[in-house]
Amino acid sequence: MSGKSSDRPALTEMLAYVREGDTVRVASLDCLARNLDDLRRLVETLSIKGVRVEFIKEGLTFTGEDSAMSKLLLSVMGAFA
């Protein structure tokens, strides 16, 4: 389902299922969230759980131990996506 809607049953199910040490692979930033706030919130939620988030198209990975520069890059690229 498109990232355009925040009401996505599969996303809700995945967020409830993932555990520390898991990796979530996403085709592209715009596939995960409908806007920049959602993107940052989802990445932060997953990182707090100890879940690694990989964006394949952009070649970005977030682990929760990310630098300020990584977070800035997520924001800039997310704003354009």
Q: What is the pTM of this model?
A: 0.80
d(CA 76, CA 24): 21
Reduced to 3 states, what is the DSSP secondary structure of residue 65? coil
Superfamily of domain 9-80: Resolvase, N-terminal catalytic domain (3.40.50.1390)
The ranges assigned to domains in the chain are 9-80
First CA to last CA distance, the chain: 16
The tens digit of pLDDT for each residue in 33-47 reads 878 889 999 999 999
> Which parts of the chain have pLDDT scores under 70?
1-6, 66, 80-81
CA 38 → CA 4, 21, distances in Å? 10, 22
pLDDT of residue 71: 75
